[in-house]
Every structure is written in structure tokens, then in C-alpha cells.
Structure 1
Amino acid sequence: MCHPNLEVKEKVKEAAQALKKPSFDVQRVRQDFPMLQQKLNGKPFIYLDSAASGQKPQVLIDRLSDFYANEYGKPNEQHTDSKNATEMLEETRQKVADLIKAKDSKEIVFVRGCTEAINVVASGFARGLLQEGDEIITTLMEHHANIVPWQMAAQDAGAVVKVVPITATGELDLAALENMISERTKIISLVHSSQILGTINPIKKITAMAHRKGVPVLVDGAQTAPHMPLDMQDLDCDFYTFSAHKMSGPTGVGVLYGKADWLEKLPPHNGGGEMAETVEFEKTTYSSPPKKFEAGTTSFADIIALGAVIDYHNALGMQAIADYEQELLEYGLEKLNQIKGLHILGSAPEKEPVVSFTIDGVDVKDLEKYLNNEWGIAVKAGNLASQPLMKHLNVDKALRASYCYYNTKEEIDTMNQAIEAYLQTKA
């Protein structure tokens, strides 16, 4: 049998060499994404919905295909292919740890997505770390995935959910947050960056504030992990969650980072094989983290393939990605602000590459369909899974354009042209 992954590793290496240029070569990057070569409704496909899910590079597709065709084996068995698969899975775990600068790969738990990662922590708190009258703090700018699990945990434990307000610019009211923290506060769970407002929250400052009062912090990094370098030692949060699919990785894979002492304290979320050390009808003892939280057979092929995507991102450089996407954001904001009657939600000085907006007299769901059907542009419109925030902003729907390192300024121009054309049809 051939050495596992050699051909695909060479492809990643070749892509890395091609990407190492003085400036960010977006046209070279776009060649690595098959979907971006397609047409949608007869038009060149323009994908501006990366906040929902990222497009996939060829290295991911090749890695999955190669594993299934030439290397398949279930991890944690004793035959050769299984041992190779186990080694490759653990290599990806280490790559994730290195990517976010965790202290140890054992602090990396693989789950099905960011939503499940939050549920693992919320259910663990409900089953052993919350008592009646305790408090959970979250914020007004959360995705439903960081609201509903905590409501369920509060209901199960008799706890209370408290909500941090936001300012007129769409930033967290930090003074209100500090005043909310009490002796009954057991955890603060908040988003790193808002998938509607784009606001990047000052996590390091918030974590320091919470830790002074002995309160742990969970950070939902679903929208941030794809767009900037991360350092868990610097942020000092106790838990951090994100999904692979939003960072151009495979579907069905999420990451829960947890400090070692918290993963030891937290009860497991699911029971089954792999997570149990000894099983008797009278009592079961659990494996040590991270296996304690990885019951059953994980999406191991996809986890292994995630390693190839991390290699690809490292070849581009996360800081280079962040810098280029900020260029796109600034350009997009400038162009959208030229459209009469268009209102951008959120004006925080630090934002991720996402812009949500409304237009006077326009049903943004109709505009979404028009952009898709007439111009081949993929965006997202609706309540964007943040109904409490939308209610606070006094809007029922907004349209969101989210930029990624494979997008271009020309695509932003085309979207603006399309919006102006739509407005002409309504004039």
C-alpha cells in the first residue's frame, strides 16, 4: 500500500508554494475552488454567503477522495489502516491546537459543529455545575445557537439567563456586563464576532473582567475562526467553539476547545463507545478528555480532511487572510453606502467581513431572489438566526453579504450594480 496521504500532501505543498507571493493573489486562490468556476443561472457564480458556509478548496476534495479510496480504516482498531487513520486523526487534532495556540492537543474535542460544542458545555453545566437561582450571562447579539442551549440549561437547573445590552453602534455595553456579574453568575457565553452586525467583541478584556470574579467564559467563534489568527493563551477564555465548514473545511465537524481543568470537571454530553473507560451495569467510568466527549464513531474522514484545509490556510497565512478580507470589508462598506435608502446594521470600529443591511421600501427576501436568479449572486436574507437582535433593531429581515479571501472587489461592484438595477425596477 502507498504511504498514506503522500500525493495529497504534495498537492498541498505545491499550492503553498504558489501562494507565497509578496501580495495576496486572489486570482491564484480562486483557481483552487471548483465551485467558483461555475455559473449560476447563466451568470458567473458570485458567492457572498461565507458566513453561512465556506466554499471548499480542491485540496479538501482530494484529501477526502484519497482517504476513502486508498487509506480507509476506522480509528482506534488494531489493523494497519486503522492505526494509520488514528494517527492521522490525532495529527489533525494537533494541527487545530497549533492553529488556535492551545496548550495541549488534549484540549481539542471534535464534535459535529459549533452548535453541538455549545450544547456540550451548556448541558454539562445543567447536569452538574448549575443550581437553582444561579445565573448565566449571554448577550443581545447572539446567534440562536448560543441562546437556546442556555435557555434549556437554565430550565433544567432552575437558573436564570441574563442578557447584556448593546450600544447604538452595535457594541457590547461593557459597563452593564460588569454590573451584571454577581456571586450567582456561573458562566458568561458570548459570540466573538456578530454574524449580523460584524462587531468583533473585546474577548480578552471581557475574559479578564470575568476571571477577576471567578467566572468562566465560553466564546462562540463560528464567525471569527475562519477570518483571523487566534491565540487561546492570549484570549484566556475557558471554552472556544467553531465549525469546520465555515472555514472552507468539511461539514459535520466542529471544535470545542476547553481548558484542561474545565474538561475534567464537565460531565460528558453523550454516552456510548469510545468515551467509556469501564462499563458495568452498576457503574461506568469515563475516558479522559478529549475522548470523554467523543462518544461513538466520529466523522473521522472529515476530521482528517480538515487537516489539509488547515495546511492550506497556513500556506496563505491567517494574518494575510485577515488583512485581505478587511480590504474587502472597507471596499464593500464604501460601495454600499453609496446606495440611496440603504441602511447598514452596526457601525462598530472593529468588524469581521460581513455587512447586513436593509433598504427603504424593499423586501430583502425579494432582493435575495433577484440577485440569485438574475445575477448569479448568492447572499442570505431573513432574520439570520438572531431574532432577539433583529427585534431590538426594529427590523424583521435584513440582507447579509459576507466576504471571504476568495472574493474580489469586482464581485462587490457587480453586487452593487445588481442592487441598483433592482431598485430601478421598483422606481
Structure 2
Amino acid sequence: MSALDLQFVRSQFPAFDEPTLENQAFFDNAGGSYACLPVIVHLNRYYHQSKIQPYHLHPVSQEAGKQMDESHQRLADYLNVSVDEVHLGPSTSQNTYVLAQAFANLLVLGDEIIVTNQDHEANIGVWRRLKQHGIVIKEWRVDSVTGELDPAALDDLMTEKTKLLAFTHCSNVVAHINPVAEICAKAKQANVWTVVDGVSFAAHGFPDVTELGADIYLFSLYKTYGTHLGVMVIRDAMAELLGNQAHYFNGDLRHKWFVPAGPDHAQVAASRGVIDYFDRLHDHHFEKTSSVQERATRVRQLLHDADLNLLPALLEYVSEHPKLTLVGPANANRRAATISVLPTDQTPQELAAKLVKQGIICGAGHFYAVRLLEALGVNPDTGVLRLSFVHYTSQEDINRLINALEKAL
């Protein structure tokens, strides 16, 4: 595998030339990444050249629709699913809400849904609310020390009445990467549908959704270098069961079924810019190939390796510091590059403020994982200090963060 050319990578992100961000090290990527250049170009061009109703008769209108269609197709190709299985809604939170309403019409009194207490609330709360429809909600609980989920615990939770399992690919606080393929296979064997929240994982490489085996897979484009949209992959068989959730007269238009508010035309059209960037990244580092799956696999590994090169040093520093407690696994091979810590003699907010003054962009709080923090005995009102990075982070950024922490502590 090729080593990541960081200079090339950063040339694809205008934020690194932005004066307001000069001399700042960005460690709040789990909240939202920088947008890549192709996305910004496409969005700007759409508003300048194509901002009329798409799919109508005028040539410009036809071109606008063509750009939107291309985004769906290229995202589908990289995720290894069919184009009709990709839905682009306003956000992952909104997408899960629509899904829950759809399942409310499918499930019957006494059916069971299993949720975790590890997830972001977007993939917990909407399912829990179905209790008012007579659905039984079961909780797959994390280990109260490690914050990790044990797949073996599902054996006692799943019954013949269990219809749905909702869990996260990777926690946005603990950052442990769950064995999604294993869990989905176990669920499928028990005739249980799966909804996987990939929001905290996808920025580190778009997954092969078919390989994972999930019935539904969700993530946020604004955390994967794109526009503020949520990507929702719903496999064909699952979509047929759930049915059209939009206007009845759009029943023959599958891509509208699960976006009842209608698409944000410009943002959808610009979404293909993420794949433009991934293709540029691939062609800069590897021999060109016409195989989309080969490109996707190589880019996924490239992003993973970039994280893994930087993660051990930061994990080691945090794990060994007497005034910090690491939340989640210390093994870099078992987690994403999202580091949550608890300071011992100051609040996460106080420590974050000291870091910000030193040019470290970071955040502190519960990050919508309130139930997880409660399970770990952490006060959600103060939460954790979260330091998250992606492939465009440099070794100099990591060194600067460690020096800033040392000073702040």
C-alpha cells in the first residue's frame, strides 16, 4: 500500500488555506469534517448554473437532475449497493425518524426491538418511542467499565418475537469498532432485521455495505467531507417491506420513498464531490483502475492506515497520563480515531477551553450519547473531552495536541 501524501490531501481541502483556521489543529472531526474541494465546487456551480427545479423540460433543469442522479449512482457504487438502495435525507437523525415511522406500520403488538445504550441518541430514541405502539424494547447493554458490547449477549436477548436490532458500527465516544458482519449474520440467522449507524465510522473509509450484511446502514455526509445530508442505504427487500413513506403518487420512484420532505437539490448534486475526491485520492496513490470496488477498497485501506499511523502515540500519552482517564480501548487496532478522555482535576469543558486557546479545535460534552455515559458512571452534564481526527491530520498536529495537553494539565 502507498503511504498517504498529506500535502496532496490537504490541497484538496480549502479549509487548510483559510485565514480564520490558520495555525489551528482540527480535532473535532467527529462533529463534522472539513468539506473537500470537489464538493464545494459542485455546490457553488449548482447554485450558479442549475438552481431551477430539476427533472423538468428545460435543458438546465435536465442537467440539474442528471447531477443528482450521478450522486446517487456514484455513492451506491462505492458502498457496493444498487442505486435504488441509496437515499439522501436531511440528516441521519431525520432519516432514523422516518424509518421508525415506517416500522411502526410494519410491526405488531408484542414485537420486540433490541437497541443498545452505546449509540448516539439518533439510533436509540426513535426506536424506544415505538413502545407507545405496543412494541417491546430490549436493551443490549455495554460493559460498565469498557463501554463495549458483547455480541454473545444477543443470544439471550433475541427471541422469536424479536424483529429489529439497532446498533452502531462505532461509538462516537468509546470508539470501539463493533464486528458488524458477525452481528448482522447472527441477527439474520434469527430472522431479525438490522439497522446500523455508521456515522462515527464512515469518515475513516466508506464500508462495503453488502459485505457487512446490514439491512439498513446510515451515515452523515457532513462527517465524510461532504454536504449536510444523511446517507441511508435500505436494501431492496427491506424497502419493499417498509413501503413508500412519501407522497402516494411517487410510489414508482424508489429514491423518494424515504425522503418525504423532498431532496435538497443542490446538496444532493454536490454529494458526488466526495467520490470525486476519493477517486483523486486513489489515482494519486495507486495505478488507475476501472473497478470501483478496487478503488473503494484501496481508499478505505489508505484512510485506515493514515489513522493507524497517528493513533498509538496519542493513545499512549492519554493512557499513561495520571490526570487523564481514557474512555474506550487503548488498542489502536480495535477503535476509530476518536479519543474521549476524563480529566481528574478539572472539567472537560475547562480543559477544552485551555486547548482552544492554544489553537486546538475540540469539543466537550455528552455528544448525544447520554445513555452510554450514564452506563459508564460519567455525568452527562459535563461529559467527556473528545479529540477526533481523520486522514488529513498530520503528525505535527498530534505533537501539538500532546504539547497543548501537557501545558493545560
Measured after TM superposition, the shift of residue 364 of structure 1 is 0.8
- Matches of 1:73 and 1:330 in 2, distance apart? 49
SS at match of 1:136: strand
Structural mapping, 1:340-359, within 5 Å: 340-347=322-329, 349-359=333-343
Q: Is the 8 A contact 2:36 2:273 kept in 1?
A: no
Q: CA deviation at 1:84?
A: 1.1
1:183 pairs with one of 146, 154, 160: 160
> Where does 1:60-79 land on structure 2 (aligned, <5 Å)?
60-79=39-58
Distance 1:85 1:40, change over 3 A: closer
Looking at structure 2, the residues matched to 58 and 337 of structure 1 have their Cα atoms a distance apart, in angstroms, of: 36
Q: Could you say if the C-alpha distance between residues 40 and 64 of structure 1 is closer, same or farther in structure 2, counting changes exceeding 3 Å?
A: closer
Q: Structure 2 regions of 5+ residues with no counterpart? A: 282-298
Kept in 2: contact 1:38–1:44 (CA 8 A): no
Q: Distance in 1 between matches of 2:166 and 2:11?
A: 38
List alignment gaps of at least 5 residues for structure 1: 1-20, 278-285
- Report the alpha carbon displacement of residue 245 of structure 1 after superposing the two structures with TM: 0.3
- Counterparts of 2:266 and 2:300, CA distance in 1: 24
Matched, 1:92 2:75: no
Other structure's SS at 1:36 match: helix
1:335 is displaced (CA, Å) by 2.7
1:293 is paired with a residue whose SS is: coil
Match of 1:146 in 2: 123
CA shift, 1:71, in A, is 3.1
Q: Does 1:36 align with 2:16?
A: yes
Query: Matched residue of 1:381: which SS?
Result: strand
Where does 1:356-375 land on structure 2 (aligned, <5 Å)? 356-372=340-356, 374-375=357-358
In 2, the alpha carbon distance for the partners of 1:83 and 1:186 equals 42
Q: For residue 394 of structure 1, what is the aligned residue in structure 2?
A: 377
Partner amino acid, structure 2, of 1:265: L
The aligned counterpart of 1:335 is 317
Task: State the secondary structure of the residue aligned to 1:356.
Answer: strand
Match 1:47 to one of 5, 18, 26: 26
Is 2:103 the partner of 1:130?
no
Shift of 1:125: 0.7
Deviation at 1:169, TM superposition (A): 3.2
User: Who is 1:108 aligned against?
Assistant: 86
Kept in 2: contact 1:137–1:164 (CA 8 A): yes
Alpha carbons 2:147, 2:372 under 8 Å: kept:
no
The range that moved more, 166-175 or 233-242, is 166-175
Matches within 5 A, 1:257-276: 257-269=233-245, 271-272=246-247, 276=249
Select the residue among 268, 282, 305 that pairs with 1:323.
305
Distance of aligned partners of 1:78 and 1:293 in 2 relative to their CA distance in 1, 3 Å threshold: farther
TM-score (norm 1): 0.86
Match of 1:159 in 2: 135
Q: What is the CA–CA distance in structure 2 between the aligned matches of 1:166 and 1:296, rounded to whole Å?
A: 35
Match of 2:254 in 1: 289
Match of 1:311 among 269, 276, 291: 276
2:400 corresponding residue in structure 1: 414
Name 2:390's counterpart in structure 1.
404
- Once the two structures are superposed, residues 179-209 of structure 1 have per-residue CA deviations (whole angstroms, 9 ceiling, x without a partner) of 1001111100110101101111111111111
Structure 1 ranges of 4+ moved more than 6 A: none
Task: Point out the more displaced range, 162-171 or 175-184.
Answer: 162-171
* Secondary structure class of the residue paired with 1:44: coil
Q: 1:59 aligns with which of 24, 35, 38?
A: 38
CA distance in 2, matches of 1:410, 1:336: 17
Which residue matches 1:193?
A: 170
Moved more, 356-365 or 222-231: 222-231
Report the AA paired with residue 310 of structure 1. I
Partner of 1:5: none
- Which letter maps to 1:411? D
**CA distance in 2: counterparts of 1:335 and 1:411, whole angstroms:** 14
2:42 is aligned with what amino acid?
R
Offset at residue 268 of structure 1 (A): 3.8
Render the CA deviation track for 1:342-382: whole Å, top value 9, x for unaligned.
1111116511111101111111101112211x212111111
Match of 1:242 among 219, 224, 228: 219
- Tell me how far 1:296 sits from its aligned partner: 4.9
3-state SS in 1 of match to 2:185: helix
CA distance in 2, matches of 1:116, 1:262: 18
Instruction: Give the corresponding residue for 2:364.
Output: 381
Q: Which string of whole-angstrom CA distances, capped at 9 and with x for unpartnered residues, describes residues 63-83 of structure 1?
A: 211122123332221211111
Partners of 1:195 and 1:250 in 2: how far apart? 20
Deviation at 1:53, TM superposition (A): 0.3
How many residues are aligned here?
A: 386
- The whole-number CA distance in structure 2 between the counterparts of 1:338 and 1:183 is 46
SS at match of 1:75: coil
What TM-score comes out, normalization by structure 2 length? 0.90
Task: Report deviation, 1:300.
Answer: 1.5
1:225 and 2:198 correspond: no
- Aligned counterparts of 1:416 and 1:236: Cα–Cα separation in 2: 39
Whichever residue aligns with residue 37 of structure 1, its letter is D
Query: What is the identity, as a one-letter code, of the residue corresponding to 1:264?
Result: E
Q: Secondary structure of 2:214's partner?
A: coil
| SS of the residue 1:407 aligns to | coil
5 Å matches for 1:5-24? 22-24=2-4
Aligned with 1:73: secondary structure? coil
1:117 alignment counterpart: 95
Q: What is the rounded CA distance, in whole Å, between the counterparts of 1:38 and 1:294 in structure 2?
A: 34
